[in-house]
Structure 1
Amino acid sequence: MWVPLLNIHFVLLISRQGKVRLTKWYNPYPQKERAKVIKEVSTLMLTRGPKMCNFVDWRGYRVVYKRYASLYFCMCIDAADNELETLQIIHHYVEILDRYFGNVCELDLIFNFHKAYFILDEVLIAGELQESNKKAVLRLITTQDSLVEAAKEEASSLRNIIAQATK
């Protein structure tokens, strides 16, 4: 059976104070338009009550969001796409962040934003779900971490060799 793919236009992580913590754009938006979109969408989410629906129609699209602790995780999809599937993708991303950081918080994302982007890029590519297996994503991330550590150690030892040679 053919299942249509979910088309995510952008992903936003916004704090309760309206500060943007992560943005990922899968469709081209000029810089001025991006700022306008962020302002409109964040205002939409932050003004809604906690008991209201997590789906909002906006500019012919649908914004799906979920609040976890002090952050709103938001994805914009086509109006005809499945909102519940989008909520599942948001939850999937949050679970991976939780497992990687050990109970993820806003500060983890502020100080390790590159890791949050890397994890998002492992989960979504071009606005479509790439990997639904949490263990596979975590394996890739830990492999990347070990490669980065090995490269740092190699660079450090090269610096030491150069420093000793130039004495």
Structure 2
Amino acid sequence: MIKVFLIVSSSGKIRIRRFYDEVEFARQQQIEQKLIVLTSKLSPNSCNFFKDLDGIYDKKCKIVMRFFGTLYFIAVIDEDESELGVLDLIQNIVDLMDKIFDNACELDVLYHPDKMNALIDEIIVAGIVVETNIMDIQEALKQQETQIKNK
């Protein structure tokens, strides 16, 4: 299960945040800050996943990170979740962003938070990946956009 999913700029600004467990707001901020510090120490060539030995979220969890352009995609997952599966999920999200925004960048995330939130919500529900088919997700997002325009 995915516990936390963040999209963070290389300057340390959180662009998208999702906590899929009940976590107090002060604790959320602490977790976010520690994850940002952790990403700032890593080079783009660093390992993409590691155990949460420092207890940023929970010592039983694993942290999966991937750097694309000026964005870090960070997921905190439980011990039963596949690290490679989450890396593939992040790749799917980036591919979808590229299809939706035509070569996506940080500005697309910044100026279209509604589309980004819908994209993430279409893929991950309550910490569980429910859809990975890019075509199905695109179709669902188009339907949502059409419904919004018709109201």
Fold agreement, TM-score > 0.5: yes
Check whether the contact 2:6–2:14 (CA below 8 A) recurs between aligned residues: yes
Report the residue type matching 1:138 in the other structure.
Answer: Q
1:115 alignment partner in structure 2: 115
The residue matched to 2:88 in structure 1 has which SS?
A: helix
Report the residue type matching 1:97 in the other structure.
Answer: M
1:82 alignment partner in structure 2: 82
CA distance in structure 1 between the aligned counterparts of 2:143 and 2:130, rounded to whole angstroms: 18
Question: Is 2:137 the partner of 1:143?
Answer: no
2:67 alignment partner in structure 1: 67
1:9 alignment partner in structure 2: 3
CA RMSD of aligned residues (A): 1.0
Report the residue type matching 1:123 in the other structure.
Answer: I
1:163 alignment partner in structure 2: none
1:40 alignment partner in structure 2: 34
Could you tell me which runs of 5 or more consecutive residues in structure 2 were left unpaired when the two chains were aligned: none
2:23 alignment partner in structure 1: 29
Cα offsets for 1:38-96 (capped at 9, x unmatched): 00011111211222101132221111010110000010011343111110011111111
CA distance in structure 2 between the aligned counterparts of 1:39 and 1:56, rounded to whole angstroms: 18
CA distance in structure 2 between the aligned counterparts of 1:48 and 1:40, rounded to whole angstroms: 13
Q: How does 1:85-164 map to 2 (within 5 A)?
A: 85-151=85-151
What's the % identity of the aligned pairs?
26
The residue matched to 2:136 in structure 1 has which SS?
A: helix
Q: Which moved more, 1:117-126 or 1:55-64?
A: 55-64
CA distance in structure 2 between the aligned counterparts of 1:81 and 1:133, rounded to whole angstroms: 19
The residue matched to 1:73 in structure 2 has which SS?
A: strand
Could you tell me which runs of 5 or more consecutive residues in structure 1 were left unpaired when the two chains were aligned: 1-6, 152-167
